[in-house]
Amino acid sequence: MRTALITGGTSGIGEAAVRVFAKAGWRVVTTGRRKERLDALVAELGADKVQAAAFDVRDEAARDAALDALPAEFRAFDLLVNNAGLALGTAPAQSASLDQWKTMIDTNVTALVSLTRKLLPELVARKGAIINISSVAGNYPYPGGNVYGGTKAFVRQFSLGLRSDLAGTGVRVTSIEPGMVETEFTLVRTSGNQDASDKLYGGADPMTGEDIAETLLWVAELPPHLNINTLELMPVSQSFAGFQVARS
């Protein structure tokens, strides 16, 4: 039985992925700060299939303690899904909050790199896989995307760099780059503005966490000689709006 570590399992894409992987027969360890939500997932899916490790991904000591406390059969990973992440704010760079920028970099970049580095020797030994959740925001700039988009461009390029370094190891690395997925993402980005979230997703028929989770499972279960390098997904309703010109 293969074991996956899926970060950010308390809502959205990560929560859906925990269900999809557990139902497909994987052992899953999932993480997040909201322990009660993790505990509910364990109760729903069974402690033989899912274990929870509650910590803030930015706190390496808490992370290591939580992972070390897992039952032995949940401590060796075949797959790391780096999903935990967030956007904060949509203000233009010249008026954005530096604290919010630092939180995004600490969470989406520094914590992801740190957890990846920690697990890499074991993933190499087990010929495992890494799936990183980037975003279309890393591929296409948009007003107010500034640092969030920058962190996701990092995630994509880091994934490709890992592929280079891991040549010959059998470890697979994939960057998944979704467009609009209806989750708690916009609530978090707008500091809890339900109206803003409803307006963004309303009438857009956005992707769901389950759509992305099924894609993650497909990538993870491909034959071992196949690597999806990057995969960009959008709802049909979302497309490109072109350049802007500021005229005098």
**Catalytically active residues, by annotation:** 148
* Tokens 């039952």 found at: 71
98 and 47 Cβ atoms separated by less than 8 Å: no
For the record, the structure tokens of 102 come out as 């630092």
Q: Measured from the CB of residue 185, what is the shortest distance to ligand 8X3 in angstroms?
A: 6
Asked if 131 contacts 81 with a C-beta cutoff of 8 angstroms, the reply is yes
Between 145 and 209, whose beta carbon lies closer to ligand NDP?
A: 209
Cα–Cα distance measured from residue 229 to residue 175, given in angstroms and rounded to the nearest whole number: 6
Q: Measure the CA–CA gap between 169 and 223, rounded to whole angstroms.
A: 15
Is residue 135 within the footprint of ligand 8X3 (CB under 6 A)? yes
Interface region with ligand 8X3, contact rule CB under 6 A, candidates 3-11, 21-29, 53-61, 135-143: 135-143
Contact between 135 and ligand NDP per CB under 6 A? yes
Stretch that binds ligand 8X3, among 42-50, 57-65, 131-139, 210-218 (CB under 6 A): 131-139
Q: Count CB neighbours of 195 within 10 A.
A: 9
Residue 32 interacts with which of ligand NDP, ligand 8X3, none, CB < 5 to 8 Å by class = ligand NDP
Nearer to ligand NDP, 76 or 188 (CB): 188
| Site map (CB under 6 A) of ligand 8X3, residues 166-185, x = contact | -------------x------
The answer to whether the CB of 233 falls within 8 A of the CB of 177 is yes
Residues 30, 34, 37, 38: what is their CA dihedral angle, to the nearest 10 degrees? Answer: 20
Cα gap 41→206, rounded to integer Å:
24
Which positions lie near ligand 8X3, rule CB under 6 A?
A: 135-137, 145, 179
Contact residues toward ligand NDP (CB under 6 A) are 8-14, 32-34, 56-58, 83-86, 107, 133, 135, 178, 180-181, 183-185, 188, 209
